[in-house]
Structure 1
């Protein structure tokens, strides 16, 4: 069984990104192991830490190493990804030559309360994942617009069509991950 790591770019309590992630996870095969990795408490990456990393870096790198594949769900901040998400990518890709991301299949989903669906954040994230040597599922593209209209006040996806779409994407990602591990 594939071990899936889930990383949510939004740190907000009732985040729509978290709701999207949960709807994707719900579509994975029964018995799939999923771990939501916390990125909120990672200090900003600093190369000075390469020689003597904080415990939070060491723990996070080990959590990433322990996963087989990753589901990333992100909002868009200023036409890019949130700083916390970029920081997490940087922390687990260092020290140079010791990235724990390499070779792990990835699914990228983006969401926005606007109609633009965080498409730019989706592609900014994909660009980093290419460099990190993570095979990334290309289809279906998961751009979720008007997420506030598809979810309740806790961020949970309530729109049946969106739930079905995300569950179907999860099934395809499971197949993709198994082929690429």
Structure 2
């Protein structure tokens, strides 16, 4: 039975999203005591402080899913050298009203895939800055800037042989991080 429920927040909801695919493939590398809830962010309204007293149903769902999680896994693309607006919108919703952030204290891992050779390095750095402000202890090492290229996945959508050892090492470090902080 799973002891650790991880909220997976993917910064892209494109049908053929590299990061959705990475999130699903990574989950297969985790031990049996980890389960995953993929947090839906595509239906959130744009954040508006005027709505904090009466949040929409999607915002309530987002906050409830984050509250129920023991850890966070952010899988993000890089848009214009930063995180996607939809991800920032979700972060803003779940961090408000001020002093009532549901992110507070939850251990996180940050990873992402891109067609570029530096993966999502700048987006990850921006996300780490935001998470630091929100008091989210974030795994620092190993960093994982994934180049989405031939061989990253096998024919069944699993992590391919060439990347499996590195990504298993990242998952193992993240598992230890979550267990240390829960």
Corresponding position of 2:164: 163
Deviations 1:86-106 (A, max 9, x none): 111001000111000000000
**Which of these residues, 130, 136, 139, is aligned with residue 138 of structure 2?**
136
Q: TM-score, with normalisation over the residues of structure 2?
A: 0.92
Measured in 2, the distance between the counterparts of 1:151 and 1:11 equals 20
Question: What number of residue pairs does the alignment pair up?
Answer: 180
Query: Which secondary structure state, in structure 2, belongs to the residue aligned with residue 149 of structure 1?
Result: coil
CA–CA distance in structure 2, aligned partners of residues 155 and 46 of structure 1:
42
Q: Does 2:49 align with 1:55? A: no
| Residue from 24, 27, 50 that aligns with 2:26 | 24
Alignment of 1:70-149 (within 5 A): 70-145=72-147, 147-149=148-150
Structure 1 length normalisation: TM-score?
A: 0.92
**Aligned residues of 1:150 and 1:157 also touching (Cα < 8 A):** no
1-structure distance, mates of 2:181, 2:44: 29
- Which of 1 and 2 has higher RCO (CA within 8 Å, sep 6+)? 1
| Corresponding residue number in structure 2 for 1:35 | 37
Instruction: Name structure 1 gaps, 5 residues minimum.
Output: none
User: Residue 179 and residue 45 in structure 1: after superposition, are their counterparts in 2 closer, same or farther (change >3 A)?
Assistant: same
In structure 1, how many angstroms separate the alpha carbons of the residues matched to 2:11 and 2:115? 15
Uncovered stretches (5+) of structure 2, i.e. residues with no partner: none
After superposition, give the CA deviation of every residue in 1:54-93 in whole Å (9 maximum; x if it has no partner).
1111111111100010111111000000011111100100
Give structure 1 regions of 4+ aligned residues with deviation exceeding 4 angstroms.
Answer: none
Contact persistence 1:18–1:155 (CA under 8 A) = no
Deviations 1:99-158 (CA, angstroms, capped at 9, x unpaired): 00000000000221011212100100111110110100011101012x043456x99455
Aligned partners of 2:107, 2:30: CA distance in 1, in Å? 15
SS in 1 for 2:131: helix
Q: Note the C-alpha offset of 1:164.
A: 3.0
RMSD: 1.9
